[in-house]
Structure 1
Amino acid sequence: MKFSELGLRPEILKALTDMGYNDLTPIQEETFDHIRGGRDLLARAETGSGKTAACGIPLVQKIDPSLNAIQALILVPTRELALQYVEEIDNISRHTGVVPFAVFGGFSMEIQKAKLRDKVHVLVATPGRLIDFLYNTISVDLSHVRTLVLDEADEMLKMGFIEDVDFILSCLIHEHQTLFFAATMPAEIDRLVRTYLKDPVRVELNKEQVAPQSLSHHFRYTGRQPRLTALIEYLTTEKISQAIIFCNSRHHGEKLAKELEKKFESIAYIHGGLEQPRRTSIFERFRRNEITFMVATDVAGRGLDFSHVSHVINYDCPCGLESYTHRTGRTGRMGRSGIAMTF
């Protein structure tokens, strides 16, 4: 199905054409009418399937730009995912007058307050920072929220945000639509679903296969050869446009980045301990293809879309199946081919 067949407002359709969006992905096709129709939704789809746009396009279509109020609230687990959501919705809504904005920790609340006082239609937030606003300010008014979105719901649970999410959901006591998106569906999500969703539509694409089908998986047993030597050999001989190299700890990542800087010019290292402006700068440079190899901890392993990534490399083996799925899902996105290599 094509976006031109959906009856979208002309200004939204123009933005999607500018973005190169012509055909709907399966998750977009399965969810669009339900979201536009106001149904609660529980959606599971593979990483890199177009979930951000699946949510963003019908939300922008439903928002009244003339009403200066928060009409959609999107909860995400990380600052980077919040910024990615805002960028996507900003692109979709560029001709409509709909204003998205993100609030997250590690950034001045005063600056965020000023923007909230001005005009925001779509608020994207991490749970902790949103609760800071709800407890300590009068800047966030949720009484006009028509749609609440919980994205990466499974990761919210894993990161210990369940109580925060519970509190935020309980604040919306008026009639509204609730959408849950996740790549995996742990059993704990069922309680949230039973409590907060009303007769939800359930969309489960690739229930048994959450990794992209365009992704090729490779494993290399290094034996007695040092892993670092094997990695450098691989990076030197393989045709790589961009790669994310995952380590399990900050210490391992720092050590590896220093070693790779001796051999390669275009190296960056990203981890959760960096100041927010620095993290954002590295992600933006990587997105613009100004960095070839990005050494990362799992801060880069969820939800983020980097269109030039051809390879994901697990220098340290991930700690579980879900971590493997989300790390390797940074390549092979939206039908593009990609390679996952684990040492």
Structure 2
Amino acid sequence: MEEEVDSVTFKDLGIIEELCLACKQLGWKAPTAIQKEAIPIALKGKDIIGLAETGSGKTGAFGLPVLQALIERPQRLFALVLTPTRELAFQIKEQFDALGKAIGVACVVIVGGMDMNQQAMDLGKRPHIIVATPGRLVDHLEKTKGFTLKALKYLVMDEADRILNMDFEVEVDKILKVIPRDRCTMLFSATMTSKVNKLQRAHLKDPVKVEVSSKYQTVSKLKQHMIFIPCKHKHIYLVYILNEIGNQSVIIFCGTQQSTLKTALMLRNLGFTAIPLYGKMTQNKRLGALNKFKMKERSILLATDVASRGLDIPCVDYVINFDVPMHSKDYIHRVGRTARAGRAGQAITFVSQYEVEVYQRIEQLLGVTLDVYPTVKEEALVLEERVEEASRFAKMEMARLEEKSGKKGKRKRGNDEDDTEESFGVRKRIGKKKFKKKGGRNTK
């Protein structure tokens, strides 16, 4: 949740006592700006288009009104929340579980990468709330006997712009055709795209537009910097900065899955507690990586843009854009992983000679020129030999993992432990020299 609005309480917005107590237990002291604007309208049963920057508390803005309406009119299969990513779906379920614990709300997650039969059994129990990705929900609507959403009262689309930009339009149309027209619909998004505008014109009834940020922006407590460096020195400067900032929580965004895994392997070889998160991992492994980072068992999370939207990890100190995002709006979502819930945070973007034009579009979108992050070139280049050695190790490990993956496809695996974890923890690392800088991160 983002910066709090002074003197206004959830009770002032019309939230009932049970839910106000749940908010207090979650540490929500006061409504955020989007909650202050959206909740009173949603409690009246009106359709909403909510536009707010990432980290602004959108989940509470739709979750509280849905739960309050459910308390007033108890019904199974009451609400459906559509999200673009699996991780965001599980996070939203956690919020519903926490807010609705005292009133016995049943909420299930329906996403890809999980067992269809188990999900069908969960749906057969007729939960109050379903949180789903569009593709897997359509699979169940078409294949799971007896499952229907004909009595649905609420539809919520969180990160609506990304749902539509991820080619889910066909699935969304199928879902809209089988749910009642007489329902309350809420679209929440950080940006208003032409696709979202088209959707609201076709499927919402006199929606109220709630907007708490009129331009693309980042939160005020976020310090943003850039570094212009040769592409071949990116890994060197990454290690240099990680050593400089010490043992703090960092998310590093890479442009591809291959880059994510290679960089994670390289950092672990140097002794950093890093773990990767990318799309081709099974859902259990993705959740495992995320939980290890949340529980601070790993201090560095390397991710593709699968982690740039919606994930609420409150204590992220730094976001590093190892690769400049190709879409300028994705920059907003990436850096929104830090400086959440009123905390401060820092974002550093690496810009190589091949990324200048893309980076300039980001500055144009923000309307600001980012300051240069202070570095000492001579100190960074001292690390070149060690980093190159670790990079060679990472390439060999990737080749080994690929070969193992090919063999494993011919037989059933006995456990769900991540191969990358095995390569990090079991195989002998190159070099035994401690890699430490005064005041920095001790990497054994």
| TM-score bin (small chain) | over 0.9
- 1:312 matched to 2:319: yes
Report the alpha carbon displacement of residue 175 of structure 1 after superposing the two structures with TM. 0.7
- Aligned amino acid, residue 272 of structure 1: G
- 1:88 matched to 2:95: yes
Moved more, 184-193 or 236-245: 236-245
2:37 matched to which residue of 1?
30
- 1:10 matched to 2:17: yes
2:52 matched to which residue of 1?
45
Structure 2 runs not aligned, ≥5 long: 1-7, 351-444
Q: Are the counterparts in 2 of residues 77 and 127 from structure 1 also a CA contact under 8 Å?
A: yes
2:426 matched to which residue of 1?
none
Deviations 1:218-258 (A, max 9, x none): 10112487111111110111155211101101111121111
Task: Work out the percentage of aligned pairs sharing the same amino acid.
Answer: 37
Moved more, 318-327 or 135-144: 135-144
Q: Are the counterparts in 2 of residues 48 and 303 from structure 1 also a CA contact under 8 Å?
A: yes
Q: Are the counterparts in 1 of residues 51 and 212 from structure 2 also a CA contact under 8 Å?
A: yes
1:247 matched to which residue of 2?
254
- Aligned amino acid, residue 133 of structure 1: H
Report the alpha carbon displacement of residue 8 of structure 1 after superposing the two structures with TM. 2.8
1:146 matched to which residue of 2?
153
Bigger Cα Rg: 2
Q: Are the counterparts in 2 of residues 68 and 121 from structure 1 also a CA contact under 8 Å?
A: yes
1:137 matched to which residue of 2?
144
Alignment of 1:157-168 (within 5 A): 157-168=164-175
Report the alpha carbon displacement of residue 271 of structure 1 after superposing the two structures with TM. 0.6
The whole-number CA distance in structure 1 between the counterparts of 2:15 and 2:146 is: 32
- 1:175 matched to 2:182: yes
Q: Are the counterparts in 1 of residues 152 and 183 from structure 2 also a CA contact under 8 Å?
A: yes
- 1:322 matched to 2:329: yes
- 1:206 matched to 2:213: yes
- SS where residue 334 of structure 1 aligns? coil
- 1:124 matched to 2:96: no
The whole-number CA distance in structure 2 between the counterparts of 1:208 and 1:63 is: 34
Report the alpha carbon displacement of residue 334 of structure 1 after superposing the two structures with TM. 2.6
2:310 matched to which residue of 1?
303
Which of 76, 79, 85 aligns to 1:78? It is: 85
Q: Are the counterparts in 1 of residues 39 and 61 from structure 2 also a CA contact under 8 Å?
A: yes
Deviations 1:273-321 (A, max 9, x none): 0011111111112122221001111111111111111111011111121
2:430 matched to which residue of 1?
none
The whole-number CA distance in structure 2 between the counterparts of 1:157 and 1:266 is: 35
- Aligned amino acid, residue 200 of structure 1: P
Q: Are the counterparts in 2 of residues 4 and 22 from structure 1 also a CA contact under 8 Å?
A: no
Which of 287, 291, 294 aligns to 2:298? It is: 291
Measured at CA, do residues 240 and 340 of structure 1 come closer, stay the same or move farther in structure 2, by a change above 3 Å?
farther
Which of 62, 65, 72 aligns to 2:69? It is: 62
The whole-number CA distance in structure 2 between the counterparts of 1:191 and 1:234 is: 44
- SS where residue 214 of structure 2 aligns? coil
The whole-number CA distance in structure 2 between the counterparts of 1:317 and 1:67 is: 47
- 1:270 matched to 2:263: no
The whole-number CA distance in structure 2 between the counterparts of 1:265 and 1:324 is: 25
- SS where residue 308 of structure 1 aligns? coil
The whole-number CA distance in structure 2 between the counterparts of 1:210 and 1:167 is: 34
* TM-score with structure 1 setting the length: 0.96
Report the alpha carbon displacement of residue 144 of structure 1 after superposing the two structures with TM. 2.1
Deviations 1:71-90 (A, max 9, x none): 11101011111000000111
Question: CA RMSD, aligned part only?
Answer: 1.6
Moved more, 267-276 or 200-209: 200-209
Measured at CA, do residues 216 and 249 of structure 1 come closer, stay the same or move farther in structure 2, by a change above 3 Å?
same
- Aligned amino acid, residue 21 of structure 1: W
Number of residue pairs matched by the alignment: 343
- 1:111 matched to 2:118: yes
